[in-house]
């Protein structure tokens, strides 16, 4: 006779999926192992069967957030936009990916996708350019998410005319194109002839 499945038992994937759903509900600051365990109706120690530490779990979540990025054929701007959109798809997604990247945890999927796109576009020094673009995208997305979060809590100056994301798409595209080498350097002003 086979034992009945125990609904309290979870695998690595179910723990990560629950943690990602909880991230969307409570944000990164309130995402704790204790809270994840309560969501799964297990003791916090049970999570450590699947993840050695909270940092390992966060690295897995960062990998899940960036897993949908295309590789190489869409161009660097489309890849950077895809990364930004993946970060925006989850509450505090940019901050989570930024923190795991800063600690060199998780995979380098986002960086690899940018390198492949730059190579496909024929850019010189794609590794260095991809690193610069990744830093730019993470910083840009973190700034936008923080502005949106502050706006949703009424922490920005009151005004019906403020759009916290106004002009950011244009600035984003310009930044990515410049770092990819697609924007030429500004010309020096011409001097008037005497």
Is the confidence at residue 181, as pLDDT, over 60? Answer: yes
Weakest-pLDDT range from 21-25, 37-41, 59-63, 163-167: 163-167
**Mean pLDDT score of the chain:** 86
pLDDT of residue 185: 47
Which class is 9-51 in CATH?
A: mainly alpha
Q: What is the pLDDT of residue 73?
A: 64
pLDDT for 189 beyond 70: no
Q: Please name the CATH architecture into which domain 63-156+163-179 falls.
A: Orthogonal Bundle (1.10)
Are 9-51 and 63-156+163-179 the same fold in CATH? no
Buried b (16+ CB within 10 A) or exposed e, 43-61: eeebbeebbeeeeebbbbb
Q: Kindly list the domain boundaries of the chain, sorted by start residue.
A: 9-51, 63-156+163-179
């Amino acid at each position: 006779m086979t034992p009945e499945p125990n609904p309290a038992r979870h695998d690595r994937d179910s723990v990560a999926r629950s943690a990602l759903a909880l991230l969307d509900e409570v944000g990164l600051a309130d995402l704790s192992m204790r809270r994840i365990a309560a969501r799964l109706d297990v003791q916090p120690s049970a999570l450590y069967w699947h993840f050695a530490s909270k940092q390992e779990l966060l690295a897995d979540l960062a990998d899940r957030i960036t897993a949908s990025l295309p590789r190489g054929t869409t161009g660097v701007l489309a890849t950077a936009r895809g990364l930004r959109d993946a970060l925006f798809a989850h509450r505090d997604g940019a901050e989570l990916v930024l923190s795991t990247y800063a600690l060199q945890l998780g995979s380098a999927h986002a960086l690899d996708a940018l390198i492949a796109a730059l190579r496909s576009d024929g850019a010189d020094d794609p590794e260095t350019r991809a690193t610069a673009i990744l830093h730019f995208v993470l910083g840009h997305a973190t700034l936008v998410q923080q502005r949106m979060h502050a706006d949703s809590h009424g922490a920005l100056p009151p005004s019906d005319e403020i759009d916290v994301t106004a002009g950011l798409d244009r600035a984003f595209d310009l930044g990515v194109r410049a770092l990819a080498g697609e924007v030429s350097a500004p010309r020096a002003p011409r001097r008037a002839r005497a």
